[in-house]
A and B are shown apart, each in its own frame.
Chain A
Amino acid sequence: MKFLSRKEELVLLTIWKLSDNAYGVTIREQISKTTDKYWSIGAIYDVLDRLETKGMVSTFISGPVSERGGKAKRFYLITKKGRDMLMEMKKLEESIWSDLPQLLISKK
């Protein structure tokens, strides 16, 4: 099974977090805040498109909204496949974390 990239995982988790209010603007805001890094709209949509082709998210389009210059919003919802994927990745990470030995840090 092919895992998601770090970016994809982050975006997917953000969508989960935003539950029914996940669209371009909110996703970008949220993820910029959590990662404390600048994300461009293009970067967000690039990842969203990939998630969509992989079937991790489904989308629907709202009616036109006046404060957006009459443009529609495209909302994203996490699919079951997406959620399973996240769980799987979490499980894997936890299993690796759980039995790590005492860390020997090099002096240099």
Chain B
Amino acid sequence: MRSSIPKIGKWILSKSAYYKNKSFIIGDTIETYDYIRDNNGRLKADLWFWSEVISSIPGFIKNFFYWGAIMFYNYLKVFFRNILRYKSQSFINLVGLSLGFICFTLIAFFVTFHFSFDNFHKNKENIYRLATPSIAKIPDLWGPSLKDVYPEIKEYVRLQIFGEVLVEQADKKFYQKNGFYADSSFFRVFSFNLLKGNENTALINPFSIVISEELSEKLFGNENPIGKTLVLNLEEGKQPYNVTGLIEDTPSNSHFKYSFLVSQSSNNARWLNNWRWEQFYTYFLLQGEVYEVELEKKYSEWIDSKIDDPTFQHTIDLQKLTDIHLHSNLHREIEPNQSISTIYLFSIIAVLILIIAIINYINISSTQAINRGREVGVRKSIGAERIQLTMQFITESIMFIVVVFIISLTAVYLLIPFVNELFGITLIESFWDNKLLIGAIFLIAIFTGLLNGIYPSLLLSGAMPTRVIKGNFDLSNKVYFRKSMVIFQFSISAFLIISSMFIHDQMKFITNKSLGFNNDQVISFEIRSEAMSEKISAFKNELLANSNISNVSLTANLPGGSDWGIPIRAEGFKDEDVPDIRMLVVDHDFINNYEIEIAQGRGFDKNFATDGSSYIINETAAKAFNWDNPLNKKISIPAVNRDWGEVVGVIKDFHFHSLHEKISPLMLFIPPENWFSKVSVKVKSADIANTLAFIEDKWEKFESEHPFKYTFMDEYFSSLYDADNRSMKLVTYATIIAIIISCLGLYALISYTISIKTKEIGIRKVLGAKVADIIMLISKEFIILLIIANLIAWPVSYYFVSDWLQDYAYRIDINMLIFLLGSVSGLLIAFAVIFQKVVKASLSNPVKSLRTE
């Protein structure tokens, strides 16, 4: 008679630990089931059967955990024994993998930090900054007038940089940066927390000021600042401000940092009520569906129709708030932004390092696993199933990886302050803020553990126990896998070495490249009050009386990024065809002061009374205007009421921006005296301290209100490359770590190779092989692998480096020698690592090695 118990039930029974391998119990069940069915009917039988199945479940679970715990204890014991037995390999594994994870985690923190910019705003999806394709600011009238016309614009807020200002309160007096004029809609658009004060009214009345916690602490200590008064000592005189709000310090992942906000109604700058003067960072809070391209077109056309001037065509770019930090690189950004390509570079490096570390780990553990063939054989022959062996290996590698994870996390926790210092940022406010990232890294770790556990267990548990137990089980068919891993790993190392050498070279090139002018020993400072401005010539003359001061020039702006761009008219050009030109507004002494060379014509000369209306252009401008002989050509600047004047000279090109940018057309002209706002003083190298004291002394004579504050121009110029230098540091560290990890792996592999070749070496030596032959024999394989790795790395690095160099307008040539140098140095390091091992093996006494077994 055919048995008729339900199939699923039978399956459950056969799976349950209690009934496992006891087919007679299933037999009993069937017999009883049939009996009940024949006497009491099928329903009763089924009921009985299922109650049996269900009642067996608790026992099943108990057994599972009981035996699970026992086996776990055994695995744990074996795990520690193995660690202790292969101390050096375990140590290498631990260090290598931890290094990899530390590096990866730190860079991941760094990268996520940059991606988190401006994410804290509630309206982040709907906030857009208006900019033109070249400059981040727009005139003040654009924002409000667009809002009046277009209903999708819910709010606008305009920020104007306040500049460095002298803050006075009671007996305190200091320069404060990072101030902004802001519209009262500031708090409706952005989500910064106003800790005290009223969000709706804080920025309405003239001469209201909202200060950050930090500034409040500096001014008022722990007192409530609301209602207090502080004085801003501006160029046009002192102005008391009423504190109407206390705002949280800017989160470190905001694309602009404020220390105070001043109501827009206090602003009385020259460029107010203007359609053309680009001075305001303007943000829109939009509502409804946003089609950027469409809006850009609509707004641009509207603005053009409003200005109605063919020389002044404008395109508006809508930049999404959250894209500004990584994707915007315009003139006059509030702060230098991070370029997305650097972030990608860092991400790639992080992933590569992690891959190297994981490959290492898997490689070393798989060689280690072979040593355990005997254990696996014994386990198999006393009845361990394949799944159990796999579980054992997985348990072990997961335990290992958890240890690595804990070590790495601790290290990262301790290292973060240093990283913050190195990059001048606050990566995270508190370590546990970024739970998601830590969780993700934990998952990667666990996945690595799984991968690492599965690989050797598949090799070993699949093999015949008789072969494994003899201990002569070798992975000869898997050797290709391991070899290709070594190649992969060293390709990455070689790639990093070569790339970092190029990055290094490029940085050296940039810092050493002649800028075309000389800013050594030039100090600059600002004219801070009208009183000073009126007497500036007298001040200049007094400075020149000191024999250690060789030159003083007065300017309205300075090289290094603060040049102006105003539309001009030029002889022979229709207004709309005049090329864009930048301008430095200088005095007669500027060209001499910065040692700029003259290519044609002459510099400004006090002997020519007309020089106040004449112009000097650079060679690039001459080319842009396509003037064969630029001298005596005429230029005018109607926007600032300058009439036609002649070009009197052409200066050689010099880098008035960082070397990231190409030299653009430039013109110099001399303005009315009251335009000057900056003083550049060239001092002689002898006795600088005294000279500075002298300048300060003179300063105080003319300027009682403002303390003296100066910068060295060469320091300022090198600060333009801060971001590059930081990238270089990071790439260098990453390269070093990658090399360390790869070499650890290589060391472990060579140790393994030698240990299985001990006997071969012994026999060869007995038969008369020389030490050199043995060294060659062992190293040969690795040399070939390393050379292949380098050959793979070359084209990849070439591609990467040439792409990276595109960021620089002035860059080094890709020199093949560097490829060779990088590879050779990588190979040398690798040899240094394996050499000692190999030499030791080849010098060993063959008698000893032959005795092993």
Contact = CB atoms under 8 A, between A and B. Distances in A.
Interface of A: 23-25, 28, 40-42, 45-46, 61, 65-74
Given A65-B27, A68-B30, 8 more contacts: A25-B35, A41-B52, A42-B52, A42-B56, A67-B34, A68-B3, A71-B23, A71-B26
Interface string B147-190: 00000000000000000000000000000000000000000000
Contacts of A25: 28, 31-32, 35
Contacts of A45: 18, 22, 25
Contacts of A70: 3
Contacts of B25: 24, 41, 45, 74
B44 to A, nearest CB: 13
A23 B3 CA distance: 19
A23 B18 CA distance: 17
Name, among B22, B23, B27, the residue most crowded by chain A CB atoms within 10 Å (CB to CB): B27
Contacts of A46: 59
A74 B24 contact: yes
B693 interface: no
A40 B24 contact: no
B55 interface: yes
B479 interface: no
20 contacts: A23-B24, A23-B28, A24-B25, A40-B56, A41-B32, A42-B18, A45-B22, A67-B31, A67-B34, A68-B3, A68-B31, A69-B3, A69-B27, A70-B3, A71-B24, A71-B26, A71-B30, A72-B24, A72-B27, A73-B24
B32 A28 contact: yes
A70 to B, nearest CB: 8
A42 B59 CA distance: 9
Nearest to A64: B27
Contacts of B59: 42, 46
A67 B30 CA distance: 8
B1 interface: yes
B18 to A, nearest CB: 6
A67 B1 contact: yes
B29 interface: yes
Contacts of A61: 24
A61 B28 CA distance: 13
A65 to B, nearest CB: 7
A81 to B, nearest CB: 23
Contacts of A66: 1
Given A25-B32, A28-B32, A45-B18, A69 B26 contact: yes
Interface size class of B (residues with CB under 8 A): 20 to 34
Contacts of A73: 24, 27-28
Contacts of B51: 40
B28 A41 contact: yes
A35 to B, nearest CB: 17
Contacts of B22: 45, 74
Contacts of B26: 69, 71
A49 to B, nearest CB: 9
Contacts of A28: 28, 32
Nearest to A28: B32
A42 B2 CA distance: 24
A68 B3 CA distance: 7
Contacts of A41: 25, 28-29, 32, 52
B37 to A, nearest CB: 12
Contacts of A65: 27
A46 B18 CA distance: 9
Given A42-B18, A42-B59, A71 B52 contact: no
A65 B22 CA distance: 15
A66 B28 CA distance: 12
Interface in B500-524: none
Nearest to B13: A41
A72 B23 contact: yes
Nearest to A68: B27
Contacts of B31: 25, 67-68
Contact of A69 (B30, B35, B55): B30
> Top 9 nearest A-B pairs by Cβ distance?
A71-B27, A69-B3, A24-B28, A68-B27, A74-B24, A69-B30, A68-B31, A25-B31, A71-B23
A2 B415 CA distance: 64
B55 A40 contact: yes
A24 B52 contact: no
A24 B19 CA distance: 13
A25 B27 CA distance: 9
A28 B32 CA distance: 10
B52 A40 contact: yes
Interface string B391-434: 00000000000000000000000000000000000000000000
Contacts of B30: 68-69, 71
Contacts of A69: 2-3, 5, 26-27, 30
A90 B793 CA distance: 87
Interface string B1-26: 11101000000000000100011111
B270 to A, nearest CB: 94
A25 B3 CA distance: 16
Contacts of B24: 23-24, 61, 71-74
Contacts of B27: 24, 65, 68-69, 71-73
Contacts of B3: 68-70
Nearest to B55: A40
Interface in B35-56: 35, 51-52, 55-56
Interface in B424-446: none
Name, among B29, B31, B56, the residue most crowded by chain A CB atoms within 10 Å (CB to CB): B31
A24 B342 CA distance: 74
Contacts of B32: 25, 28, 41
A29 to B, nearest CB: 8
Name, among B3, B24, B31, B59, the residue most crowded by chain A CB atoms within 10 Å (CB to CB): B24
Nearest to B18: A42
B54 to A, nearest CB: 10
